[in-house]
Amino acid sequence: MKTVEDLKRMREQFQSQTKLRHAGGIQIIVGMGTCGIAAGAREVMSAILDEIAKRKLQDVTVRQTGCIGMCEKEVLVDVVRPDEPRITYGKVTPAAVSKIIGEHVVNGRIVEELVVGKISQ
Amino acid sequence: MRELALHILDLVQNSLEAGASRVLLEIIEDSGADTLTIRVSDDGRGMDAETRRRVIDPFVTTRTTRRVGLGLPLIDMSTKQCGGYLKIDSTVGRGTTVEAVYRHSHLDRPPLGNIAATVKTLVIANPDTDLIYRHSVDDAVFTLTTRELTEILGDMPLTHPDVIVWLDEYIAANEANLYGGVQHENS
């Protein structure tokens, strides 16, 4: 069974490693209004966290946000890479998550067939 | 919503949208009183009496992107179908407390469901919000707070892959413990 002591050890290990992480990592934002939750946003979020753990991605942060008004396109997931346009993916399923993470988050190739919006920053 | 854990995610999202910096989420299962209570208390901007009275009307919402809001009406309906009630206390500038009470043994009561996934999502995706989660089943209690985790972690992010795996197992094990480690309706 995992304990708080395990977490403390994990942190000590983390500190002893040389910092290879880059500042200003990638952000993933999941829409979690009532509409998003009803469409399966929590399952998509779980799939994203599983994928981050599996691929050992260290410079990705995950956020949740409310309804952005495109309820019919839920589940909505935004991927923001530093200095690149903000990409909104629609009708995201847990099955599509590994593609979005593998292609876009890791390799920087936008998964065009799932894109519903692009905002240049 | 098929499970209470999804309603809970929805309730906490309301608190976050109200600008809360601290959210207390309590699940109280009391077999003596035969109740399952979900209580979310926040220090967000709160509501005036008129708004508080109107929020369980599905044709009322504070958002501007559409004209209906279904979160609270859905919870209100689901508690009433299970011999319970929804109570909302709110003060402008002070915060809001929403309490949803179900008759625990009611046949139509949705299962609590995957509360571990809900809590994990809330903690990891809102590191700047102080979430206090407390789940009790009679005398057994499990408490998890964002502050406790971030104090241990320091500059190690909650999204660190090892932390995600740890949280998964830590929450699952402690939730199972609440039910004496036996198979339960939420596993």
Supply the CATH number for residue B140's domain: 3.30.565.10
d(CA B126, CA B129): 6
Q: Which residues contact B63 (CB under 8 A, 6 or more apart)?
A: A33, A66, A67, A69, B69
Is residue B146 within 8 A of residue B123, CB to CB? The reply is yes
Whether B132 and chain A come into contact, CB under 8 Å, resolves to no
Using only the alpha carbons of chain B, give its radius of gyration.
17
Whether A68 and chain B come into contact, CB under 8 Å, resolves to yes
- Of B100, B112, B97, B99, nearest to B142 by C-alpha is B112
Number of domains in chain B: 1
pTM here is: 0.90
Which residues of chain A does B166 touch, with a Cβ-Cβ cutoff of 8 Å?
Answer: 2, 6-7, 10
Grade residue B67 by pLDDT with cuts at 50, 70 and 90: low
Which residues of chain B does A33 touch, with a Cβ-Cβ cutoff of 8 Å?
Answer: 13, 63, 71
Is residue A44 within 8 A of residue A78, CB to CB? The reply is no
Residue B184 lies in a domain: no
Residue B89 lies in a domain: yes
Q: Which domain holds residue B140?
A: 4-178
Residue B23 lies in a domain: yes
Is residue B36 within 8 A of residue B113, CB to CB? The reply is no
Residue B100 lies in a domain: yes
Asked whether residue B58 carries a pLDDT value surpassing 80, the answer given is no
Which pLDDT belongs to residue B76? 93
Whether A52 and chain B come into contact, CB under 8 Å, resolves to yes
Distance from CA of A73 to the nearest CA of B (A): 14
Residue B187 lies in a domain: no
Percent of chain B with pLDDT over 70: 92
d(CA B44, CA B73): 20
d(CA A10, CA B155): 12
Residue A12: other Cβ atoms inside 10 A: 9
- Are the Cβ atoms of A37 and B6 closer than 8 angstroms? yes
- Of A84, A104, A31, A2, nearest to B17 by C-alpha is A31
Whether B162 and chain A come into contact, CB under 8 Å, resolves to yes
Asked whether residue A23 carries a pLDDT value surpassing 70, the answer given is no
Grade residue B59 by pLDDT with cuts at 50, 70 and 90: confident
Which pLDDT belongs to residue A46? 97
Residue B45 lies in a domain: yes
Which residues of chain B does A73 touch, with a Cβ-Cβ cutoff of 8 Å?
Answer: none
Tokens at B164, concatenated: 């995600």
- Are the Cβ atoms of B163 and A30 closer than 8 angstroms? no
